[in-house]
Chain A
Amino acid sequence: MDHVKAGIVVFPGSNCDHDVYNVFKNTLKADTKFLWHKDTSIGDRNIVILPGGFSYGDYLRCGAIAKFSPLMNEVIKFAGNGGVVIGICNGFQVLCETGLLPGALLRNVNLKFVCKTVTLKVENNKSIFTGEYDIKEEIRIPVAHGEGNYFCDENTLTDLISNNQIIFTYKDNPNGSIANIAGIQSVKRNVLGLMPHPERASEQLLGNTDGYRFFKSVTESLL
């Protein structure tokens, strides 16, 4: 995987950064670096991942403060130039706050933090993130969030559907998300946000490799 140069963004409060690093570095054997939120350049990275966690303590709103970190300006430029950006869990919240993805993530409708493995449906396997899956394939991926209830207005939802931007949906909705949405991509198809954690399901050792094909799909798309 010499062609992959992964940058894992670390905010104060990120806590899935090392999990994502491990997948890229040790499972995919990719050139992998951490990017500190105060960095002012993403350097030679060709894929940027915003990991899960509680950036800036989730103060104000999840992801709201992170969007103003110096590195995020560079990530926004990178995405604007077609660079591949993935936001997982808190990373998805950051992407919505920055406007790289539409909508917002609200408090789970039952007010509970959900931490379990759920079944997702692959709604679009033509994306650069899901080429390794079959269309409508059901995969098992863990979720762990208190604010994963995806919300957008009706017009935005219509756009998401007509542009095939909905990538993953929940089989049994754990958080009240509109249209069972678990993950969406941008109109330009280079930015993806999802609440579930594929990095926690990418190794035999962890008992589940359904997430591995997500990373394999996106890294092969960089070729």
Chain B
Amino acid sequence: MYTSKINIKIRDTILDPQGKAVEHSLKSLGFNSVTDTRIGKYIELKIDTLSEEDAKKITEETCRKLLANPVMEDYEFVVSKDGEGK
């Protein structure tokens, strides 16, 4: 079993109004060193397959076909084997 941890966010070239609103709030709280805020979503998949390569391929396909919209979003993911690193 593998776990895919996927991050999806609006492309850097596109204005993220939600991120901007949060950034303004952070500034008003005194976090003046914060220069940019972008909000995305996090998706976790459990994938029952035999190899990490296969899990990556499946994750890539889920992102391309459904999880992300390539017109406006970028995605990145990390795949790990369950039970490892504990």
Contact = CB atoms under 8 A, between A and B. Distances in A.
A110 B17 contact: yes
A103 B69 CA distance: 10
A109 B66 contact: no
A104 B67 contact: no
Contacts of B17: 107-111, 176
Nearest to B43: A60
Given A60-B66, A104-B71, A111 B18 contact: yes
Contacts of A114: none
Interface string A127-156: 000000000000000000000000111000
A110 B24 CA distance: 13
A151 B72 contact: yes
Contacts, number: 32
Nearest to A105: B72
A61 B69 contact: yes
B14 interface: yes
Interface string A92-104: 0000110000111
Contacts of A109: 15, 17
A102 B15 CA distance: 19
B21 A111 contact: yes
A62 to B, nearest CB: 10
B10 A106 contact: yes
A104 B72 contact: yes
B46 to A, nearest CB: 18
Nearest to B65: A68
B14 A107 contact: no
Nearest to A62: B69
A153 B14 CA distance: 10
Nearest to A61: B69
Contacts of B72: 104, 106, 151
Given A60-B66, A106-B10, A151 B71 contact: yes
Contact of B14 (A60, A61, A102, A151): A151
Contacts of A64: 66, 69
28 contacts: A60-B66, A61-B69, A64-B66, A64-B69, A68-B66, A96-B71, A97-B69, A102-B71, A104-B71, A104-B72, A106-B10, A106-B14, A106-B72, A107-B17, A107-B18, A108-B17, A109-B15, A109-B17, A110-B17, A111-B17, A111-B18, A111-B21, A151-B14, A151-B71, A151-B72, A152-B71, A176-B15, A176-B17
Interface of B: 10, 14-15, 17-18, 21, 66-67, 69, 71-72
